[in-house]
Structure 1
Amino acid sequence: MNIIEACKDPNLFRPFLADENGGLGTWFKWFACLRGLYGMPYGPKASNALVLVTKRNPAHYPLEGFKSALFLTGRRSGKSRMAAVIGAYEAALAGNETRLAKGEKGVVAVIAPTKNQGGIVRNYIRAIFETPILARQMVRETREGFELRNGIEIRIMAGDFRTVRGFTLVAAIIDEIAFFGLDEESKVKSDTELIRAVQPSLATCRGKLIAISSPYAKRGWVYKTHSNHFGNDKGKTLVVNCPSRTLNPTLPQDIVDEAMEEDAASARSEYLGMFRDDIAAFIGRDAVEALVKKGRDSLLPRARKTYWAFVDMSGGRSDDHALAIAHMEHRTVILDFVKRYKPGQSPYTVVRDMSEQMGRYHIKRVHGDNYAADWVAKSFQEHNIHFTKADRNKSALYLELLPRLGSGEIELIDNEVLIDQLSNLERRTRSGGKDIIDHAPGGHDDLANAVAGVSCVTSKGKLRVGALRTSDSQTTSVEFRRRWFYSHLLET
């Protein structure tokens, strides 16, 4: 049985897809895409639909169909429901169990960037298997997914692909692939890393790789695949790219119009299937990792060194607090210490711990982001540390950090969260040509912001109590004794 027959069968997928009148007409263009993907016959109407959404001649499609596909369409286009349909078909009806060796376990991996997105697809698959025939095929539902009588397992994974290692993938369906690595929940650093990890597991059974997503920034595997294969009659990957209403004509136009009025750049991505021109990567991950001193999680304080500190205090329940300490050596900012404090801790406990860490480095003055409230300065003052609010916002701090990152004039410690946050920063162009540097939706940049701030104040070398400004922060023994005297005088 092919996938179109399964979609139309009232005992299989039809109850899941049918509208309130039991019809499937609104899924016509999706069905055309499935015909192209699986190498099935199609009539003139389906051929015209494929030309519309792929910008290539269906007559040149491979007769056996495609081993990989990328569906780029907007919100409410039905893409997550279609991901569930493809996953259920590959697991229960495609006959993939016959391609496994005796005793070999086959897995259909359904991978989503977050637990919430993974939960949506999981619920859809559960609904598909509610028909009596399919219900008999399910052995049990597990924490990982669903086990079927044919020996195939559907595994729902949120932000992590590593649990499938050691298994044979008969298919991989990746939902919202353009958004991997943007959320700290995701253990995958980018869509490119994910694809490289999944492809070897598909090789044994020549399983299909199906990626479905709204477009986002012009970067990574998604953008490269779109550039190479969309509209290319010789492309080996089927790329579908179109607005939401093309695949789902039931989506009201006024919803799209309202979104365009509120934020045109975002709406073009979310509903029109277009990559965002106003977003670019701040700095590549390779460039960040090249500045990391492998195995260095911190540096001990040393005499005759002037240290600087910068804090990013949480502005909400979901944000971390963060502290960064650094010093200067021969025009290079050396990051000595970073620490983040997860939400839920008392802010006064956080300030006390930060003060203790700064005390180890004999720091009596700390700078902080300019969103910090008055309680921050008062809390640090209780620990004999003077708080100075930064004279610029975090976008300006990041823009000052960028040349230092590009020239290699900073040494980063080996902290995975810091590397992730710096690598995932986005540069957005707003009206008037002003650039905004910020984390991606759902992401965080607290630690990155603290590092950008400490790099700025360290490189400028503003005078602090007991220390004389020098280009490389080295002081003479007389200057060091003077600094020690003043710091202990303030403590008493």
Structure 2
Amino acid sequence: MQIPKVSITTFAEDKYLLNLKLWQKQKEVLETFWSENYTKAVWCLGRRSGKTLMAAISACYASCILADEYKKHLRQNERFYIITIANSADQAKLALYNIKDLIKNSVLLKELIVNETADSLELCNNSIIKSIPTSSRSARGMACPMLIFDELAYSMDSNGNASGDALYNALAPSSAQFGESGKVLLLSSPYKSEGIFYDIYKQGISGLYPDIQVVNLPSWEVNPTLSKSFLESEKARDPDMFNVEYGANFSQNLASFLNADLVHTAINYHRNSLLPQDCYLGDYFLSLDPAKGSRDAYTACIAHFEDSFLVVDLFHQFTASWGEDKKKQVNIAEVESWIIEMHNIYGFTKVCLDQYNSISTIQRLSGLIDIQEINWSASSKTKAYTKLRELFNSQKIELYPHVESLKQLKNLSVFYKPGGSWSVSGGTGAAVDDFVSALAGILLISDYDADFDAIEAMTRKEPGESEYAIQNWLNYYHW
């Protein structure tokens, strides 16, 4: 079946094709990109601008409408690939799901499908739509007339290192064989004033590269459904990050909070989480970062001091088990049972939770454990994160290879404000700094500022391990 060549906005809104209703700005951005001689596009748009939908429409358009044009640059019967690149395996699956959903729900386009796998969709016109995470290099060597880099400004590898540059350099040449028909689409909310997304954005606005389309719009100019009250509440919560995430402004003041090399230096690759040691029983600290809704993670961190070092013994994340489907949340009763069980094993000198949804837990456990609430204010967060940076800079912290916490530590950004104050952010999305928050909580309740010789005198005992404590620990974690 041959699908007639139409404009992309007609393709998106025709009831027999994608049958969508686009906002006016979405139409303008898509039509300009596909009707003019652009080989690259940088869509620097605020959150909730519908940029992921626009990218999915573009992928469908390229694969369903432009196949004959692409075949002019291919050998007979050679396949071509429309590739979307996301920052994680889950995001890659979601990106492909959106594309599959559009095609499968189309009256005409669904007839093009000949094969479907978990990470690809093959059409009868020799096109294959494929989605990969940034950790993959599987698109190298493929004929790719269109590449879509999703949220490129936040592109991180599995260790939390900025990987957008390397990924772009590895994959962008795949579109070169298609000449002016080949297209590379870079879309993201803005972030730091660095990296490949920012570099190509600067090239585009310089006027020296007429083949680059640059679109830089705040959320409310694209999405007319955003309420004024929602935007005002987001701005009140963090004006600086609102300016970046919704205002679509690159921050000149964002920088990495911790040097990635110092984070690597702090990792003891020869161990995993630690068994409780007899010489530190009664001197362990536990800090918990409660989940703030169903999309957030409820995390915990156990640590102790050895001489002048803070040693992280265990990071833990609670599984959401209460509620239904996507609204599942952590069962607080299970958390409290875990706290008591871990206290019996480690012997906590102090336990803390942040102020979110923690009063009932503190009341129930206060008779058993020295447990307290942390009020995360601007000053207390600055104090805790200052201590955290001091530990890394002085190389007085030991971590273990816990992938998610390391990623969060490396992704921390500091925003320097006028007057010398600053704030720390883990970026956008869910679960961006939960493990770090739990770790920072320990620095608020511990005596980190005290003389380390005094800490050593208080905590140093004869080496040894409690057999009872170890067995309980092993039983709990199934070692």
TM-score by length of 2: 0.70
Q: By how many angstroms is 1:187 displaced?
A: 6.6
Structure 1: how far apart are the matches of 2:301 and 2:226?
47
Which string of whole-angstrom CA distances, capped at 9 and with x for unpartnered residues, describes residues 349-376 of structure 1?
A: 3233333334333435434435463433
Q: CA separation of 1:31/1:143 partners in 2, compared to 1, >3 Å: closer, same or farther?
A: same
Structure 1 CA distance for aligned equivalents of residues 460 and 246 of structure 2:
59
Do the aligned residues in 1 keep the contact of 2:284 with 2:304 (CA within 8 Å)?
yes
- Tell me whether 1:231 sits opposite 2:205 in the alignment: yes
Q: Is the 1:268–1:274 Cα contact (8 Å) retained in structure 2?
A: yes
State whether structure 2 residue 354 is matched by structure 1 residue 369: yes
**Which among 311, 323, 327 is matched to residue 287 of structure 2?**
311
Instruction: Tell me if structure 2 keeps the 8 A contact 1:138–1:149.
Output: yes
Which residues of 2 match residues 354-365 of structure 1 at below 5 A? 354-365=339-350
| Contact 1:109–1:173 under 8 Å retained in 2 | yes
Does 1:242 find its partner at 2:220?
no
* Range that drifts further, 368-377 or 264-273: 264-273
Q: Are residue 454 (structure 1) and residue 454 (structure 2) matched?
A: no
The question of whether the paired residues in 2 share the 8 Å contact of 1:27 and 1:247 is answered with: no
Instruction: Provide the C-alpha distance between the structure 1 equivalents of 2:405 and 2:230, rounded to a whole number of angstroms.
Output: 37
Amino acid at match of 1:376: T
Q: Which moved further from structure 2: 278-287 or 351-360?
A: 278-287
Q: 1:221 aligns with which of 160, 184, 196?
A: 196
Are the structure 2 counterparts of residues 261 and 419 from structure 1 closer, same or farther at C-alpha, using a change threshold of 3 Å? closer
TM, length-normalised to structure 1: 0.69
Superposed CA deviations along residues 220-273 of structure 1, whole A, max 9, x for unmatched, are 43224334x13335559825143369996xx66997899479736566546654
Distance 1:98 1:29, change over 3 A: closer
- After superposition, give the CA deviation of every residue in 1:67-98 in whole Å (9 maximum; x if it has no partner): x4422234676744542343234324154456
Asked if 1:122 corresponds to 2:99, the answer is: yes
Q: Residue deviations 1:97-125, cap 9 Å, x none? A: 56567887543122445479737852784
Q: Output the CA distance in 1 between the equivalents of 2:124 and 2:213.
A: 33
1:74 and 1:268 mapped to 2: Cα distance?
Answer: 9
2:45 counterpart letter in structure 1? T
1:325 counterpart SS class: strand
Query: CA–CA distance in 1 between the matches of 2:342 and 2:12?
Result: 59
Q: Which one-letter code corresponds to 1:72 in the other structure?
A: C
- Return the letter of the residue paired with 2:7: C
Contact kept? 1:309, 1:323, Cα under 8 Å: no
Given that 1:100 and 1:205 are in contact with CA atoms closer than 8 Å, whether structure 2 keeps it comes out as no
C-alpha distance 363-163 of structure 1, shift in aligned 2 (>3 A) = same
Number of paired residues? 432
Q: Which residue of 1 aligns with 2:59?
A: 87
Larger Rg: 1
- Any gaps of 5 or more consecutive residues in structure 2? 177-181, 322-329, 470-479
Q: Secondary structure at the match of 1:211?
A: strand
Q: What is aligned with 2:7?
A: 7
Correspondent of 1:323 among 282, 290, 300: 300
Change over 3 Å in CA distance of 1:371–1:271 after alignment to 2? closer
Contact 1:76 1:244 in 2 (8 A): no
CA contact (8 A) 1:175 1:212 kept: yes
In structure 2, relative to structure 1, the CA distance for the partners of 1:378 and 1:262 (3 Å cut) is closer
User: How many percent of aligned residue pairs carry the same amino acid?
Assistant: 20
Query: Residues 431-476 of structure 1: CA distance to partner in whole angstroms, max 9, x if unpaired?
Result: 986534344342323321221222454453889xxxx943465536
Contact 1:305 1:474 in 2 (8 A): yes
Shift in alpha-carbon separation, 1:262–1:348, aligned structure 2, 3 A:
closer
RMSD of aligned Cα (Å): 4.8
How far, CA to CA, are the matches of 2:371 and 2:390 in structure 1?
27
Structure 2 residue 369 is matched with structure 1 residue 385: yes
**Deviation per residue, 1:269-308 (Å, 9 max, x gap):** 4665422456544335444233212242122333434632
Provide the secondary structure at the position in 1 that maps to 2:206. Answer: coil
Contact 2:158 2:403 in 1 (8 A): no
